[in-house]
Amino acid sequence: MLLSNITSHASTCASLLSLKVPVLLNPSATPPYYPPQSRSGTSIPPSPYPSGDVKDVQALPLLVQAFVQGAKVDTTSEQRTRKGDLHFLASVFANVSMSGTDGELEYPLSELVVFTEHADTIRRGGVTSTIKHCAFHVPAHKAILFSETERASIPPSTVPAPGINALPYILLPLAGPEEFDLDDQEKLHEELQLLPETKKREVDDVLRLTHVETLILLCTTRAGRECLRSNGVYEIMRVMHISENVENIIEHIERLVNLLKGEEAPFQDGDDDGWSHRLLNADTVTPGESNGQTEAVEGSMDDSELNTASMGSLLADEDEDEMIVEV
């Protein structure tokens, strides 16, 4: 919890990202390394003591590994891999991802997304916030939405890696037990198909809103919107809208639907692959029609204005005269 508090400062987050910890590799132990300089005075050293040379490794991957192991319980002995559950590390990752790290946390995100439906509110809340903060980094959208079988790089890095496949884990907390017809069912990821009757949506209003805001951010690029359309995001939002009773969340759902149901302008010669930084504007999305009502997407910005503040404008309240399509 102490680390969660001190990482509320950007300077501490920067230090954590550059921090290296000396370890001795110990493959037969859990975890498979021993940090000789991190042992407390009352801690008993391992026996036998690991041999070999000390190696400096990045601290952040070790924290991610500890966080994942903290959630695991040995079903045979009902003992944890770690002494503590380490739920508060989720807040550390949320703080680090909010500090403008430009791709530092996106690939470790692949280890974290599975906890969006964890029983502990602190753990799933921190992970939910981390996903949203990473979505502000538009160049990471391709990796966030790609499946594990596809490879993408996150600028400034040029090294491709398997996709994070975060979309099913964003949608699962928003999905309920409703049944879909066959055509809609085929759009959904396997994790979202044939959910049991006991399936419940996220009970925390703030976390539900955060997931919807993340989906709005992932609509920044044309390719992102196409990915969300083809993977049943509208279908999930349609049934969620029926049961949702928080006005602010309803407004965000309608805003998301407005982005997804807008008619895209045809590709022009010289257009990129759709994953560019271009924000939604009148030249990118044209008004469409649905159920006899007009859909409008408001606001335009130059690519040079794309930053965290301008990305946040996608989540800002629209003018009262803006027309949003009925869900």
Q: Do 112 and 177 sit in the same domain of this protein?
A: no
CA distance 106 to 109: 5
Q: What is the pLDDT of residue 316?
A: 57
- Do residues 217 and 280 lie in contact, with contact meaning Cβ atoms separated by under 8 Å? no
pLDDT at 72 over 80: no
More confident residue, 68 or 293: 68
- Rounded CA separation 9/95 (Å): 8
User: Domain check: are 197 and 323 in the same one?
Assistant: yes
Least confident of 211-215, 228-232, 323-327: 323-327
Calpha distance 244→52 (Å, rounded): 58
Q: Which range among 89-93, 189-193, 255-259 shows the weakest confidence by mean pLDDT?
A: 189-193
Average pLDDT across the chain, whole number: 80
Do 107 and 180 reside in the same domain of the chain?
no
Task: Tell me, yes or no, whether 40 lies in a domain.
Answer: no
Structure tokens at 325: 């399509």
Task: Please report whether residue 61 resides in a domain.
Answer: yes
Mean pLDDT of 184-199: 90
Among 117, 147, 165, residue at a domain's last position: 165
| DSSP assignment letter at 299 | -
Range of the domain at 129: 1-9+56-71+82-165
